[in-house]
Amino acid sequence: MGTFWIILAIIELLVIIAGVVVWLLGKKKKDAMVDSARQLAKGKLNIDDIPVSGSNSSEDVIANGLNLIKSNMLTFVESTKQNTVVLSDAIDRLTENMKANQEGTEMIANNTISVEERTSKQLEMVDDNKHVMESNYDQLNEIGNSMTEIGDLLGETAQMSNNGMEILEGYNREMDVVSEDLNNINETLVKFNDQIQKVYEVGDFIVDISTQLKLLSFNASIEAARAGEAGRGFAVVAGEMTGMSEQTKEGMDRISTILSEIMTSSSHVTESINKVTESFNESKATFTEVNSSFGAINTNSTQIQTKITDINKMFSVMEDNFQRSKDIADRMYDTAKDINESTEDIAAASQEVTAEATQIGENTAALDDMLKGIRKLIGRFDTGVMPENNRSGKEIKIGMVSMNDNDFWYGVKRGANYAVKELAPFKTKVTFTPINPGDDGDKVREYIQSFIDQKYDAIIYPGFLGGVDKQLEQARSKGIKLMTFNCDCSNTKLRLACLKADSIEQGQLAAKSAAGLIGKSGNVGILMGSDTIIGNVERRKGFIDTIGKYKSIKLVGEMSVKDDSDDVYKKTKEYLSKHPEVQVLFLTNGFPEDVARAVVDAGRKGKTKVVGFDLNPGLFPYIKNGAVGSIISQDSFGQGHDPIVLMYNHIAAGTSFPGETISCRASVADASNIDQLIEA
């Protein structure tokens, strides 16, 4: 009996203890909810979620509601910040364009007046040109008529030259006949001279005979004298022979004189005939040259006439062209008159455009003021680091380099751009330099060296950036402050602080999410990225340490993958082929979309869910269709924004960094909040 009461007392004590524990746990959860609500009321959104047990109790419902409100508010504020950056940039571009447009419109208005004046002058010039072209047209007609007359004259000249050639050819033939006759006469005279020469020879013979007769007569006289009376007859004969000899000599002398005169005359005739022949030959050559000249004249006249014909054709074409030019000049004159009239309308329209541009500029300025109000309003919500007043009194220059090749880094760029706008009123110049795909190490070193050469106060860079230690050491030696983000660097002595995701915490969140996806019981696998990247190692550690606490969850296998899209896709399909029983596939590196694609292509959608990192719009469909269970984000916007503002606060207000290593906020995207994220 006593034992019964002892047992009953123990049971009652256990019930009381359990009640106290439940009350304490409930109070703790209520206190957490009250504290969370108080923080939310103050605008502090950068707080942890309220733990929930997964039951349907009122406390869990309220806790889930507060967590959802905080998550939605965070999403809204972050999206608004990003949108204000985009809108602000658009307003800046619109303002610049409007200024340029206004200046252009004013230039148009001024130029329109100038155009109007020039158009008037052009109108006068076109009119003058029109008259000149008409005068040229008339002169062309006169030239054309003159060329026709010249052509006709050349035709007549060619005909006359042809006739002259025919006459000269006939005269040349007659000259050939005369020349031939003179040659014949000359030959006859030569023969006649030869015959006279023979007569001379006969006369000489007769003279010789006469001399012999005279000598014979003289001898006969001597002999007759010797003979006396007997030789008186011989004396008479001798006397007669002497007389005949004298008479013969006298006759031959007269014949010689006559022949000599004939020879002299014949010589003169021959000489004259020779001279006439030479003159005829020279005249014949001259007439030949004249004939050739007439031939050349005839040929040249024919060619000139042909060219004159061609020129006449050209003048006809030119005449047509001048007529067309005249028509064009007439149209230009009419167009110039229209332009002159239209410029007045353009000037008036330009004035209206200028007025409208001024109104748009005022509206743009009002929109910019509204954006400033929105930034001021969202500044009341504590989602990240807030800038303090610049007490340094000088302009602060901060340079940041960052990757620019996927959605995560695009988010970093948006956060940096928001910091640029946020710090502009505080005499701070922030320069964001993206490292684009294809930029090599020399280019990255050039970016950092540029900040050094321009004497920037601080440089912020991804901690995994390699090959730049020389430039960073140079910067630090010149008093330039250094800070890393996203990943810590190997040389921690150079940088003052590092803002990055807590990779172990990310792995823990991934494990808890994976456990929730399979009801804390089932099979999970791991795709491990490069172990040279500390983020992959720490995420794996956080995941394994946490998943090991669930006794009903089995780790069925692990496969190494490269930080490469194609390799991740290929290895995922290979892993699923070996382990079809896996229900959750955890990926440590940033290629969850490729894993999800491989899951779908392997026919495992809905059977194997992916848990990975870095949310981007390409993952939204996979989360909605169940191929992706959850994505752990590491606040890309904050990683672009917070390092800049932390560095500014340190330089401008002397504020200390929260720690050497600063953790950025982590969040989970899954089927429960994907719609809100898509709408945001």
In this structure, are residues 87 and 342 in contact, taking their beta carbons and an 8 Å threshold? Answer: no
Tokens at residue 386, please? 């807030």
In this structure, are residues 644 and 458 in contact, taking their beta carbons and an 8 Å threshold? Answer: no
- Smallest CA-to-CA distance from 431 within 443, 447, 446 is with 447
Per-block mean pLDDT, blocks of 10 residues, the chain (680 long): 50 52 53 63 59 56 60 59 61 64 62 62 63 64 67 66 66 64 66 66 67 70 70 66 68 70 67 67 65 67 68 66 66 64 59 59 57 53 76 92 87 92 92 93 95 97 90 95 88 89 92 93 95 90 95 94 93 96 94 95 94 89 93 89 96 93 85 67
Superfamily of structural domain 136-334: Methyl-accepting chemotaxis protein (1.10.287.950)
Superfamily of structural domain 503-634: Response regulator (3.40.50.2300)
In this structure, are residues 610 and 596 in contact, taking their beta carbons and an 8 Å threshold? Answer: yes
Number of helices and strands (H, E) in the chain? Answer: 13, 12
Tokens at residue 246, please? 């004298």
Q: How many CB atoms lie within 10 A of CB 593?
A: 25
What was the pLDDT predicted at 479? 95
Q: How far apart are CA 315 and CA 329, in angstroms?
A: 20
Q: What is the three-class DSSP state of 553?
A: strand
The CATH-assigned architecture of domain 384-495+637-664 is 3-Layer(aba) Sandwich (3.40)
Q: How far apart are CA 269 and CA 266, in angstroms?
A: 5
Q: What DSSP element (H or E) covers 433?
A: strand 428-435
What was the pLDDT predicted at 397? 97
Q: How far apart are CA 525 and CA 611, in angstroms?
A: 10
Q: Do domains 136-334 and 503-634 have the same CATH topology?
A: no
Q: What DSSP element (H or E) covers 524?
A: strand 522-528
Single pTM value for the model: 0.54
- Smallest CA-to-CA distance from 46 within 383, 381, 387, 380 is with 383
What was the pLDDT predicted at 616? 82
- Please report, for the chain, the start and end positions of each structural domain, with discontinuous segments joined by +: 136-334, 384-495+637-664, 503-634
What was the pLDDT predicted at 395? 94
**Eight-state DSSP code of residue 629:** E
